[in-house]
Homo-oligomer: A and B are copies of this chain.
Amino acid sequence: MNYTFSDGLRDLQPSAIREILKYASVPGVVALSAGNPAPEAFPVAEIAAISERLLRERPIDVLQYGATEGYQPLRDHLKTYLREKYAVGCDTDDVLITSGAQQVMELVTKTVCNPGDVVLCESPSFIGSLNSFRALGVKLVGVPMEADGMDVEALERALNEHKNVRFIYTIPNFQNPAGVTMSMEKRRRLYALAKAHNVLIVEDNPYGDLRFTGEDVPAIKTLDDDGVVVYAGSFSKVLSSGMRVGYALANKTLLAKMIVAKQGEDVHTTQWAQMVCHEFMTTCDFEAHLDRLRAVYKEKAQLMMDLLDEHLVPAGITYHRPEGGLFIWCQLPDGVDMADFCTKAVKEHKVAVVPGSAFNVEGEHLQTFRVNYSTPTNEAMREGVARLGAFAKEYIK
């Protein structure tokens, strides 16, 4: 049998992050490459108690087919929660529960894009989303990132240049991988540009609740009374990543088509996971839990920054100080071979970071790599950054 693959999948390779995770699992390698929540961030006892109760009191609801649009009590709760806490959502919006926020990206693309249509992405951006778009054969065009978010002048030029742009993809808070947060001024400008061009915005906000310093910036979706913004949220970083529960908040007309698309993908999201999320939000102290998470990540981020200051900055590596999220984006001096540096770091010095090239949109050159502070233990971070620093001092002449 000779296989012929679709245009979208033919040249698509497994995510470089997940490939590097294979190296990262070699014994003795310190992995600063993952993006997993810290194991201590999972509220294990509460989830176990909720799960036991659900399987005792309502086993058939847990085990039987559910509705494609999601477990209704969770949909209702999220709608109220997002509106009251973040001023996100209006009367013409509704909530769809998805199998992780990743599925939101895929469903929007499938719903509004034909192959060859254009999606504008921050460059660099999250490879999982980029590959989700690529798999459906769309053309990605990168918009450079600045310290306060997307370069909106470049965005305007791209919107004028490409006539078949279907949406703009952004991670406005603690962007993965660049770590930056978009300013309110730029959010307003982005929204106005998208609306004027009749182009959707997909606002991916997996890390918004993980701010440990500075002031929250309102979501782009708070500006939206015209169905321009699809807001994507996730339980992966705040409750459990292995559960695979995310959601889209979007205009009902658009959402109705996304529901038809989801019906053909996985019928509905795992009932147990949806019900656990709902019970956790409504019967446990969700806000206290988020406070605890922020404290965990604040401490780990601070330790990582201290270690970078001690070991990497003296070798000429600079980095962006994050105000939240899980990652730090590090910049190598000009002239240093980034890919070779990252490869030798893992193969010869047993410390894994993610090369910036994993996050590029159109093959553009990047002189950067990403480190993570949520997954490794403090001890592993100390060992890993010390190894990386010793190697960097020797490698960067």
Contacts and interface: CB of A to CB of B under 8 A. Distances in A.
A260 B227 CA distance: 31
A347 interface: no
Contact of A5 (B15, B257, B266): B257
A44 B59 contact: yes
A7 B114 contact: yes
A42 B106 CA distance: 32
A81 interface: no
B42 A47 contact: no
A175 interface: no
Given A244-B269, A244-B270, A253-B3, A260 B66 contact: no
Given A14-B260, A135-B264, A273-B272, A115 B112 contact: no
A15 B55 CA distance: 29
A234 to B, nearest CB: 11
A221 to B, nearest CB: 13
Contact of A102 (B44, B228, B267): B267
A260 B106 CA distance: 13
A242 B266 CA distance: 11
B52 A128 contact: no
A99 B9 contact: no
A127 to B, nearest CB: 9
A45 B300 CA distance: 41
Interface in A25-70: 36-37, 39, 42, 44, 47-48, 51-52, 55-56, 59-66, 68
Given A60-B39, A62-B242, A195-B1, A103 B266 contact: yes
Nearest to A266: B99
Contacts of A44: 55, 59-60, 63
Given A48-B52, A59-B48, A267 B244 contact: yes
Contacts of A242: 61-66, 270-272
A42 B68 contact: no
A227 B1 contact: yes
Contacts of A105: 264
Contacts of A39: 60, 64
A222 interface: no
Contacts of A128: 263-264, 267
A124 interface: no
A115 B228 CA distance: 27
B254 A63 contact: no
Contacts of A267: 100, 102, 128, 244
A181 interface: no
Nearest 9 interchain pairs by C-beta: A132-B264, A242-B271, A63-B240, A99-B266, A48-B55, A270-B270, A44-B59, A1-B227, A65-B241
10 contacts: A3-B257, A6-B113, A14-B259, A47-B63, A62-B242, A63-B242, A100-B267, A135-B264, A244-B267, A270-B273
